Amino acid sequence: MEKVLLFYYLPLSMLGLGVFAFDKWRALYRRRRVSERSLLLLSTIGAWPGAWLGIVLFRHKSAKRVFLFQFAIGILLHCAITIAIWRYLLR
């Protein structure tokens, strides 16, 4: 379990934080942005801890309730899939 956390969630979380920081930077300088769909997909595949940190630290997308709702659904979906894999395939 510790290896999964180290080799899957840590790099993905760092990537999520980086992408949210990059998108915030692009927003501040009115440049082409990372799509919300990409941010949500990245979060759903496991980068949500770092993405959540990016939302909190940079106040990025924190005012968009629809995005936050979709983000929460993505976390729940990721957790459900992870539990199903853990319970039925890795036992």
What three-state secondary structure class fits 63?
A: coil
Count: domains in the chain: 1
Q: What is the pLDDT of residue 43?
A: 96
pLDDT of residue 2: 66
According to the model, what pLDDT value does residue 87 have? 86
Q: Supply the range of the domain harboring residue 59.
A: 2-89
**Residuewise pLDDT in 10s, the chain (91 residues):** 667 767 888 999 999 999 999 999 999 999 999 999 999 999 999 999 999 999 999 999 999 999 999 999 999 999 999 888 888 877 6
DSSP string across 31-52: -PPPPHHHHHHHIIIIIHHHHH
pLDDT the model gives residue 89? 77
- Residue 6: its pLDDT value, please? 77
